[in-house]
Structure 1
């Protein structure tokens, strides 16, 4: 690698030299070698000092070296410097002729001007002629001066130098072709780099424009991308104290431990959504909903993650205000309703003392008061959030049987048949009162949404490490889009509204809150016109598991 660096540095330095300096450097190796050989020859053979051809050849090389460095080649016609290697043939010929016996291989120095002429690319055809004629004349001049070498040797020497010249020409052409390809590749790479830089700039601008925080992590959990909104969230956290910053759980007061923080969870390969955290000092906290998706490589290994964060403070505060309002109104209705029901019960206890027809009217009033009482109870339960539960070993089969027994009057009034498919006993760890509330609500809904009669089937069984509870009806059913919204507060299907089926859409929301508080799950499958099935999973009671 260091040799390549030195080569590139030398190439750059050479390209910065003037034409005069470059021509001189091309002549310098040959002139230095001839002068050194001449000095050594004079020391070894002093008689060469009296040889005019040898001395003229050496002096001619020195003159050509001086001319190479001193001539204003920039002002002369392009390629005029080629006269230097052409005259080198003459100088080598004189040196060879004068010291042929002492230095028999000096004629091979003709390769220097051959290389120069071939690599320059100046006058290619005439250059080939010169590469043959010059070496031929070098040995030919020796033959004229009395050498015993035949003319055939001179011809062969010239042909050899032409072969070297042709090889150099082809090598130069290949080098030039490679250089052009390299330049084209470099230009394409530069273009792609510019395009990539422009796209990165556009992506950064888009990401910095959106109001959603975004963090991208690599496989090592290191951040590779963070947009402007996320940096503002980071600032809220980094202004914290020595406990690690202002990052709290959903209750707004419990600091999140490092392994529960969104970025750390994502770095560990978790995928999650709607994970609510609170950022910033407690007097100016912001609610942020976070979600993360883990990425996998082709081998299925963790390759990174993307975390998005959205400020939902206004929505959370709005929902909180709505729930406070519902709770306050419900509490205001609770006391007078309790009083009304109490007085109606007292009056109806003395039903025989009432005038004819009054008892029936009071009964109607009592039923409607009870309906209003149930509505207020649902509103209070929905406003209180997740239901509190008291877990203990509970026989789910017994709860199903009691709930079906209580629902018989409602089912008989609407022509619905109730069926149960349960084991003899099925122990769960649950709150019997809350699970009875879940089951009563599901069975009541199944009967209510089967206005033309039908069948409601309740099943319970063990499945792996959980208890499975199903309530299936053959009623009006729901569309897939309605099924996905059924557990939201105040949601009612189009068919329920059009059929004037009573209700405010809180029962299933409360039911889900109860199931979630048990650590269970609930989901719904439905087909319009063919009925609905609700499936609940609850934890088994381990110590008494069958």
Structure 2
């Protein structure tokens, strides 16, 4: 209750309290007079004709009657005051209840107006609130023939492959009920065609002691954006595929010419070699475009020694590092076992090491190390090159992203290597992060499973 309302309430009760005090005084006075007069009239007149002993008894009876009358009158007055106070409190509570209902109606109107879904959960995972947008979304994802399916476990939810049902423990409400906080978690509601892609996010609610008391989950439809990205990927994939065939033919014919270059002058041979290198570079770029356009990266993990993969990657990059005046080093226990696809992880390591060398234009050091955390293996690729800002580090895994410093430095690249690396690592069930500062180099950390995941029950 606001301060002004309290002041008004106090003012409202001031005058009634004064009037009640005067009424109480009048009642008390009248009661005392009547309580004294009536017994006195009954006592003293007979007492004039009676004995002294009888007079004392009658006086005592009059005093008892006076006390009883006084108590009854006081109780009656107090009862009336309490009744008035109760009625005033009831009126005030009714006013507060009306205000609360009005605010509830306003909140529900706002929640039903916004074009996002909102679900509030309590500490036990029970729903406290679901707005109309979310109810319509869940209705669209209900299985055919099942009317009124509102439980998340009953809904048709899939991942981005549009086929594999989302496990119960990975569904948004279940994750939120367990106290997990997440954002931009994409889930597909319903069956294709007609399914809807929704970006979900959750934030836990805490009490004064920091304990978990529930969560709020938000659902925002991004079907149009995802479809647009898929269409762009289709264009990139088609164009890249069309480039691959003529490039392969050009490289093959250049190889044939260089294989029979006895009658050619050294100048012509050098020019053909330049054309061959650039054609191979274009073919590598086309391969990266094809891979980035393919949303599904196929991996075949097995028990693999990461130390040997890192050693092979550094060996392959040695010539590039020497030309760029970069020193390569590694510090890993051997063997270092992990459950990964050796071919794909080698590709990811090559991208990271190549980037570390490329973005050290003034020379420097590239160091690869590893550490263990429970059932995970962490690989760290560190350089002391040009680095980047925190904002650029957050976007560095986005396809085609290149920081302004890189573009200004005329460093070649298409901004696909790190996006492909991220896709490979995440397909293994791992994660990759970047920590960097301008002029102080960058550190990329890859987290991979040390052992195969236990089979689901």
1:122-521 map, 5 Å: 124-143=28-47, 150-238=54-142, 240-241=144-145, 247-250=156-159, 251-256=161-166, 261-267=171-177, 271-295=181-205, 303-521=213-431
- Please say if residues 420 and 457 of structure 1, whose CA atoms lie closer than 8 Å, have aligned partners that are also in contact: yes
- Match of 1:532? 442
Moved more, 209-218 or 470-479: 209-218
Q: Deviations over 1:170-195 (max 9, x none)?
A: 43454444344434433332232222
* Secondary structure of the corresponding residue to residue 435 of structure 2: strand
Moved more, 425-434 or 377-386: 425-434
Structure 1, unaligned runs of 5 or more: 1-118
- Please say if residues 28 and 70 of structure 2, whose CA atoms lie closer than 8 Å, have aligned partners that are also in contact: no
Distance 1:123 1:295 in 2: 57
Distance 1:254 1:267 in 2: 23
Once the 2 structures are TM-superposed, how far is the Cα of residue 536 of structure 1 from its aligned partner?
1.4
Distance 1:461 1:159 in 2: 96
Structure 1 pair 468–122 and aligned structure 2 pair: CA distance change class (3 A): closer
Structure 1 pair 454–226 and aligned structure 2 pair: CA distance change class (3 A): same
Structure 1 pair 420–268 and aligned structure 2 pair: CA distance change class (3 A): closer
| Structure showing greater Rg | 1
- Please say if residues 133 and 158 of structure 1, whose CA atoms lie closer than 8 Å, have aligned partners that are also in contact: no
Distance 2:449 2:165 in 1: 30
Moved more, 165-174 or 475-484: 165-174
Structure 2, unaligned runs of 5 or more: 1-22, 453-457
Structure 1 pair 520–266 and aligned structure 2 pair: CA distance change class (3 A): closer
Once the 2 structures are TM-superposed, how far is the Cα of residue 219 of structure 1 from its aligned partner?
3.5
Once the 2 structures are TM-superposed, how far is the Cα of residue 529 of structure 1 from its aligned partner?
0.9
Q: Deviations over 1:81-104 (max 9, x none)?
A: xxxxxxxxxxxxxxxxxxxxxxxx
Distance 2:194 2:62 in 1: 93
More helix by share: 1
Distance 1:120 1:178 in 2: 13
Give the TM-score of the pair, scaled to structure 1: 0.70
Once the 2 structures are TM-superposed, how far is the Cα of residue 455 of structure 1 from its aligned partner?
0.9
- Please say if residues 366 and 383 of structure 2, whose CA atoms lie closer than 8 Å, have aligned partners that are also in contact: yes
Moved more, 519-528 or 273-282: 273-282
Distance 1:500 1:383 in 2: 25
Q: Deviations over 1:304-334 (max 9, x none)?
A: 3322211111111111111111111111111
Once the 2 structures are TM-superposed, how far is the Cα of residue 537 of structure 1 from its aligned partner?
2.4
* Secondary structure of the corresponding residue to residue 399 of structure 1: helix
Distance 1:415 1:400 in 2: 20
Once the 2 structures are TM-superposed, how far is the Cα of residue 526 of structure 1 from its aligned partner?
1.1
- Please say if residues 35 and 70 of structure 2, whose CA atoms lie closer than 8 Å, have aligned partners that are also in contact: no
* Secondary structure of the corresponding residue to residue 351 of structure 1: coil
- Please say if residues 158 and 189 of structure 2, whose CA atoms lie closer than 8 Å, have aligned partners that are also in contact: no
Distance 1:449 1:432 in 2: 25
Distance 1:264 1:472 in 2: 37
Distance 2:174 2:345 in 1: 36
1:31-180 map, 5 Å: 124-143=28-47, 150-180=54-84
- Please say if residues 31 and 70 of structure 2, whose CA atoms lie closer than 8 Å, have aligned partners that are also in contact: no
Once the 2 structures are TM-superposed, how far is the Cα of residue 539 of structure 1 from its aligned partner?
2.8
- Please say if residues 479 and 526 of structure 1, whose CA atoms lie closer than 8 Å, have aligned partners that are also in contact: yes
Structure 1 pair 149–261 and aligned structure 2 pair: CA distance change class (3 A): same
Structure 1 pair 186–447 and aligned structure 2 pair: CA distance change class (3 A): same
- Match of 1:116? none
Distance 1:269 1:340 in 2: 57
Structure 1 pair 304–173 and aligned structure 2 pair: CA distance change class (3 A): same
- Please say if residues 212 and 309 of structure 1, whose CA atoms lie closer than 8 Å, have aligned partners that are also in contact: yes
Distance 2:367 2:170 in 1: 42
* Secondary structure of the corresponding residue to residue 339 of structure 2: strand
* Secondary structure of the corresponding residue to residue 141 of structure 2: helix
Larger relative contact order (Cα-Cα within 8 Å, sequence gap ≥ 6) = 2
Paired residues in the alignment total 424
Give the TM-score of the pair, scaled to structure 2: 0.83
- Please say if residues 142 and 156 of structure 2, whose CA atoms lie closer than 8 Å, have aligned partners that are also in contact: no
- Please say if residues 246 and 281 of structure 1, whose CA atoms lie closer than 8 Å, have aligned partners that are also in contact: no
* Secondary structure of the corresponding residue to residue 483 of structure 1: helix
Moved more, 211-220 or 502-511: 211-220
Once the 2 structures are TM-superposed, how far is the Cα of residue 252 of structure 1 from its aligned partner?
2.7
